[in-house]
């Protein structure tokens, strides 16, 4: 046999028996969770346009755009001249009616006494009773008018309905405000939520998801599920989900994604290789590489596996392996 052919056979024989160096880890140490994402943004529970409830000139605008206000804090003061005058007039009219009612009540009592001695007729007594009833009705109506006047007076101080940030100012000092005139726009700073559009296939999954979080501009905030709609919206074909911040909140208006992990653990993409028409990964048994095919695996995606967590998985050197290759395990 020619010397060159003998050398070639010896080389091939040596190559066939050479051990390929690999690194391995237990399956439980390499499994990853599949990550899902849904576009989302941080929204406020309330965005309110604060309006005037009475007609009056604007005397003062106490806060401006960018200010943060507390519930009950004064935002705008309206001129009080007309409302104070209405209260004073109402109280004066009430005092006059009280005097009339006192006089009419005294005359009624005298008429009742005289009727017992037949000094007045029943018609006269009825007239006194009617007079008292009319004055009492007028007095009750005047009490309502005073309450209305006092309510209008209280409405000259426009206050914040909740803790909020001022995002727009419409009212100007010296302008006439009328009922319904916009004075200021507030965005509630508490009770903010994350609004997300979720694929209907993942609704049940997200309600029990692990690692639920809002991701925006490189930052993450933990989330909790607040509520998920049962209706698929016709325009987006998505389901609307709302999530709350259990701790620190992201700024209102932030755009980003709601991210969560599938509860089942998967072989990472980096360990999946193709041999023939099958996708799978390599494990080691008796010093040899064994290719484990995964029929459900898809290219470029992690795949579920059902093996004991202490199964040795080849994590380095697997790209060059073939099923049955002799391997040398290199310590980490």
The domain locations on the chain are: 18-33+268-329, 35-46+190-264, 50-186
The two tokens of residue 158 are 């426009």
Which residues pair with residue 243 across a beta bridge?
194, 225
Q: Which residues contact 76 (CB under 8 A, 6 or more apart)?
A: 50, 52, 58, 60, 61, 62, 157, 158, 171, 183, 184
Domain 35-46+190-264: CATH superfamily is Efflux pump adaptor protein, beta barrel domain (2.40.30.170)
Which residues pair with residue 186 across a beta bridge?
48, 166
**Which of 166, 197, 189, 161 minimizes the C-alpha distance to 252?**
189
Q: What is the pTM of this model?
A: 0.62
Q: Output the CATH code of domain 50-186.
A: 2.40.50.100
Phi first, then psi: what are they for 205, rounded to 5°? -70, -45
pLDDT in the model for residue 59: 96
Residues 238-289 have pLDDT tens digits of: 999 999 999 999 999 999 999 998 766 788 889 999 999 999 999 999 999 9
Q: What is the pLDDT along the chain (332 residues), one digit of tens a residue?
A: 555 554 444 444 444 457 899 999 998 888 887 788 999 999 998 999 999 999 999 999 999 999 999 999 999 999 999 999 999 999 999 999 999 999 888 988 877 777 666 666 777 778 888 988 999 999 999 999 999 999 999 999 999 999 999 999 999 999 999 999 999 999 998 889 999 999 998 888 888 787 899 999 999 999 999 999 989 999 989 999 999 999 999 999 999 999 998 766 788 889 999 999 999 999 999 999 999 999 888 888 888 888 888 999 999 999 999 999 999 988 87
């Amino acid at each position: 046999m020619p010397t060159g052919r003998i050398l070639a056979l010896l080389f091939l024989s040596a190559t066939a028996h050479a051990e390929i160096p690999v690194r391995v880890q237990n399956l439980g140490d390499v499994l990853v969770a599949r990550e899902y994402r849904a576009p989302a943004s941080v929204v406020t529970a309330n965005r309110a346009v604060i309006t005037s409830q009475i007609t009056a000139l604007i005397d003062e605008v106490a806060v401006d755009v960018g200010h943060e206000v507390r519930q009950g804090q004064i935002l705008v003061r309206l001129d009080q001249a007309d409302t104070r005058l209405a209260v004073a007039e109402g109280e004066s009219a009430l005092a006059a009616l009280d005097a009339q009612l006192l006089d009419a009540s005294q005359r009624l009592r005298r008429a009742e006494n005289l009727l017992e001695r037949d000094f007045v007729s029943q018609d006269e007594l009825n007239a006194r009773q009617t007079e008292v009833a009319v004055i009492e009705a007028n007095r009750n109506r005047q009490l309502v008018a005073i309450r209305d006047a006092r309510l209008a007076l209280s409405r000259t101080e426009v206050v914040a309905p909740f803790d909020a940030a001022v995002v727009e100012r419409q009212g100007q000092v010296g302008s006439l405000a009328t009922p319904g005139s916009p004075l200021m726009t507030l965005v509630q700073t508490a009770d903010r939520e994350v609004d997300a559009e979720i694929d209907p296939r993942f609704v049940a999954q997200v309600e029990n998801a692990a690692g639920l979080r809002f991701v925006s501009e490189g930052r993450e905030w933990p989330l909790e599920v607040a509520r998920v709609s049962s209706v698929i919206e016709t325009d987006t074909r998505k389901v609307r989900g709302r999530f709350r911040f259990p701790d620190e909140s992201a700024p209102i208006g932030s755009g980003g994604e709601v991210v969560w992990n599938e509860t089942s653990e998967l072989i990472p993409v980096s360990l999946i290789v193709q041999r023939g028409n099958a996708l799978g990964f390599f494990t080691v048994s008796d010093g040899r590489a064994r290719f484990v095919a995964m029929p459900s695996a898809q290219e470029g995606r992690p795949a579920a596996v059902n093996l004991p967590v202490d199964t040795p998985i080849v994590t380095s050197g697997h790209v060059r392996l073939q099923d049955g290759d002799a391997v040398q395990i290199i310590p980490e």
